[in-house]
Structure 1
Amino acid sequence: MPNKIQLFRTLAVSNFFGLLGLMLVWQLICNAGSDTSVWFRLGLWVVPLLFPLPGLLRGKPYTFAWANFILMWYFLHGFTMLYIEPSQRGLALVEILFTTAAFIGCTAFARLQGRALGLGLPKLKDQQ
Structure 2
Amino acid sequence: MTPVAPSPAVAWTRTLAVGCLLGLVALCLAWELWLAPLRPGGSWLALKALPLVVPLAGLLKNRMYTYRWVSLLVWLYFTEGVVRAWSDTTAASRALAWVEILLCLGLFVACALHVRLRLRAARTLNERPAS
Same-fold status (TM-score > 0.5): yes
Amino acid corresponding to residue 104 of structure 2 in structure 1: T
Shift of 1:92: 0.5
Larger Rg: 2
Amino acid corresponding to residue 14 of structure 2 in structure 1: R
Q: 7, 12, 15: which one pairs with 2:20? A: 15
Shift of 1:28: 1.1
RMSD of aligned C-alpha atoms? 1.8
Taking structure 1 as the reference length, the TM-score comes to 0.81
Taking structure 2 as the reference length, the TM-score comes to 0.79
Q: Kindly indicate whether the alpha-carbon contact (under 8 Å) linking 1:12 and 1:101 is maintained by their aligned counterparts in 2.
A: yes
Q: 23, 47, 54: which one pairs with 2:50? A: 47
The residue matched to 1:86 in structure 2 has which SS?
coil
Percent identical: 32
- What CA distance in whole angstroms lies between the structure 1 residues aligned with 2:20 and 2:35? 20
1:125 aligned partner: none
Q: Kindly indicate whether the alpha-carbon contact (under 8 Å) linking 1:78 and 1:95 is maintained by their aligned counterparts in 2.
A: yes
- What CA distance in whole angstroms lies between the structure 2 residues aligned with 1:95 and 1:14? 13
Shift of 1:68: 1.5
Q: 71, 86, 96: which one pairs with 1:83? A: 86
Which digits, 9 at most, give the CA deviation of each residue in 1:59-108, with x for residues without a partner? 11110110112211110000000110131111011000100001000111
> Which aligned segments of 4 or more residues in structure 1 are displaced greater than 3 angstroms?
none
- What CA distance in whole angstroms lies between the structure 1 residues aligned with 2:25 and 2:107? 11
* Unaligned residue ranges in structure 1 (runs of 5+): 119-128
Q: 108, 118, 123: which one pairs with 2:113? A: 108
